[in-house]
Chains A and B, each alone.
Chain A
């Protein structure tokens, strides 16, 4: 390999190579960190959410003329919805899961009032159809019975006798002990308790998109209580689960049916569970998209820079290349010359860029409190940049190799 003469030739025209190397270094730093940040977020968005997201949708309905028995109103709606073919099940809920409003409460595993260490939990209400309507998997214990379901009066802040919680919530409260059958204490002076009758597979809390350490730690702290909210504030919220593929048909059928049951109502805030999840992860998606675009454009710009500079040098060196050919260089020797030159440039770039990537990572680490960089991204970024460089220089290099040797003896 003719590395030494290539290096000394580069040394004669340092500026261009230095600029390209710097560009490669910056690009590596950004691309490696972007890949990492994107992956952190993709991993976050890929976490299981514990419900049958693709087949669930939610709606909120409210009577426009006051109704006497809200309980009857809701029960009639439920019966109507559940009778629709294609509907797996439905349940009233306190808030739509994993999308928007939240009820967060504090609980502790014992009656020790001095223990200020409440566990934060996202509480939601369901009736005895809730597990089915949300596609939640019951691991141990039992579901709510129909007779345990209570319809709460307006603004009532009651506590149930029984509750169902996630595995993670159980672990947060009781460590390795099985929470089933244990009492959970509500965080008030009166030490009201509820008994754990069921343990479900982890369901993500409404703050699942939170990046704060506390939010991340409590992401699966979720509890179901056997209540139905009847306060009409913003209407009654229903979660409806359809058979796979039937969601769209079910959505219009449900609306029709509900208006049949009671025409004096509003049906609003109809969201598929997918929409809600997407909305929760809105910022993450924005960041992923912007990062991908920026990193992608950066790669393109760098490639264009390499192409531009290489084309230019090829033009400038036409005579020199002809001379080399006259002196016995084969086409592939010329090709190899330019590719070697580029590989050397890339090498300077990635060496500098590796340090910069690490520096940038430290800055981001302090800013975003994200986990430490997985060192595996750096080699990937380096390989990408080598490939990019070779690809970018290949066109101009091929053009160079096509320069006829006869050029050498023709005066310009």
Chain B
């Protein structure tokens, strides 16, 4: 029966090729545009680390450093060096990460390759555990390397390819800014989107480069290179040590908290800490202490430009127009068939069967539209990648999205098609046999 319905649908589509093509094109374009915008939006607002996002927290100790905080109108969620040193090692979190992004010049042993600059993150080894960084070779450095500030390094896959031709380089040495670092591991591709753990700089950019222990910060004197540093000007000296001692916020600190109770405890601990610091003349006047998990934090940082929310709305209106279009064409098509339907009904085809036949036909249009929509969406994403290289990571299709697109297409087409199909099946069998 279903096969028979399918065959009838195919014949019917073929009978009005222009109308069928228009309908499929309308749905396809509607779904294509909607999917493209939706994929970009979903990836930009999506949970970058679903398994853990409810447990990872960062905080803002807003001591109004950044009265001149610039055009963003919100306190930057960074911590000063002094506070990080004081706050690290609390027993409340399961684990924690401190890190910031800098860059340094790599001097390959291979004289063929000129020295080049790469992103270098100063981080503790908790960074790799907290953010589930996958390793291709080796592992993160030991706790000892962190505490003793040893010259060890973790390379990204891309950098390992460049420096060592992609072989397992664990144990080899790399010259960075004149210091020799020993490789302990090579990470596999790691690109959560958005890069929530350092939401300054270009958060939709790729994350590559290398990692060295955060405890080397005083020694390496590597300034933060991508993102903001907020300072209150004072008359202390101008050396790196003075800078670390200054009231500046610039370091990212994330903690992994087991549950709500631990979150509250940690928040209380932070508040106690700031009160305690008042004896040194810090945290005077009004200030805020806030704690955020990943999703709360993304919202706080307003990572998604409201323009994209607007685009979503407009994309959906676009889909509505496409569906209205299809709806109108379906009406036209079905009413052009009134005579045939009357004859079939008169010949004993039940209303229900008639209706089913039409639904199958609509579904066929829906599937065809969905497939076309997918093709257009992949074209759209390709165009996006082309126009905005930053979207490279953001834009790709997967099985889930493909099924969503097809489903969306079929469901929306069915919904729009239901009324025309129902209407046409309400025709009395005799009406169109009369007087023609």
Contact = CB atoms under 8 A, between A and B. Distances in A.
Interface of A: 13, 15-16, 19-20, 22-23, 26-27, 29-30, 33-34, 37, 62, 64, 66, 102, 104-106, 116, 118, 120, 153-158, 186-188, 190, 207, 210-212, 214-215, 218, 231, 233-235, 266, 268, 282-283, 285-287, 289-291, 293-294, 297-298, 301-302, 304-305, 307-309, 311-313, 315-316, 360, 363-364, 367-368, 412
Interface residues of B, number: 70
14 contacts: A13-B335, A102-B70, A116-B67, A207-B71, A214-B73, A268-B117, A290-B311, A294-B311, A294-B318, A301-B26, A309-B329, A309-B332, A368-B306, A368-B307
Contact of B178 (A66, A157, A234, A268): A66
A33 B317 CA distance: 12
A364 B29 contact: no
Main secondary structure on chain B at its contact with chain A?
helix
Given A106-B68, A312-B336, A266 B328 contact: no
A157 B242 CA distance: 11
B18 A106 contact: no
A315 B390 contact: no
A294 B325 contact: no
Contacts of B235: 190
Contacts of B186: none
A187 B238 contact: no
A207 B70 contact: yes
A282 B232 contact: no
A385 to B, nearest CB: 12
Nearest to B390: A282
B75 interface: no
Nearest to B313: A363
Contact of B311 (A118, A287, A309): A287
A64 B315 CA distance: 50
Given A26-B320, A294-B314, A188 B232 contact: yes
Interface centre among B37, B68, B307, B331 (most CB of A within 10 A): B307
Nearest to A34: B314
A235 B115 CA distance: 14
Contacts of B69: 104
Given A64-B115, A212-B73, A294-B318, A187 B324 contact: no
Interchain residue pairs A-B with the least CB separation, the first 7: A106-B68, A215-B71, A19-B328, A156-B238, A305-B325, A312-B332, A188-B233
Nearest to A212: B71
Given A16-B332, A308-B329, A309-B328, A283 B307 contact: yes
Given A19-B327, A153-B238, A312-B333, A104 B68 contact: yes
A120 B233 contact: no
B136 to A, nearest CB: 27
B266 to A, nearest CB: 31
A400 to B, nearest CB: 15
A363 B317 CA distance: 13
B103 interface: yes
B305 interface: yes
